Amino acid sequence: MTPESVIEFGQHALYVAMIVAAPLLLTALAVGLIIGVVQAATQINEMTLSFIPKVMCMAAVALIAGPWMLRTLVQFTRQLIESLPGAVR
């Protein structure tokens, strides 16, 4: 296994992790921004007010994007396992 192949595996793993995490992180960012604007406009400074909407929206996105996320991770794992014998020589 050459250093280049290890770096390639690492880069691909980081790319897959970024792609899989993106829907949930972007949802949390968008909902937090919207709630922050509403709190600033109404001058309600309650820290726990944004928690429930974030959790609900992230659960909805996880239900919608969950199969795609799982399929992406399984595909990556399958490719990794299939490419290991060629990389070890």
Helices 51-88/3-42 angle, 10° precision: 170
At 73 the pLDDT is 96
pTM to 2 decimal places: 0.81
CB atoms within 10 A of CB 69: 19
At 83 the pLDDT is 87
Task: Compute the average pLDDT of residues 10-23.
Answer: 96
Region of poorest pLDDT, from 6-15, 40-49, 50-59, 75-84? 40-49
Q: Is the pLDDT of residue 89 over 70?
A: no
Whether 66 and 55 have beta carbons less than 8 Å apart is answered as no
Report the share of the chain in percent with pLDDT over 70.
99
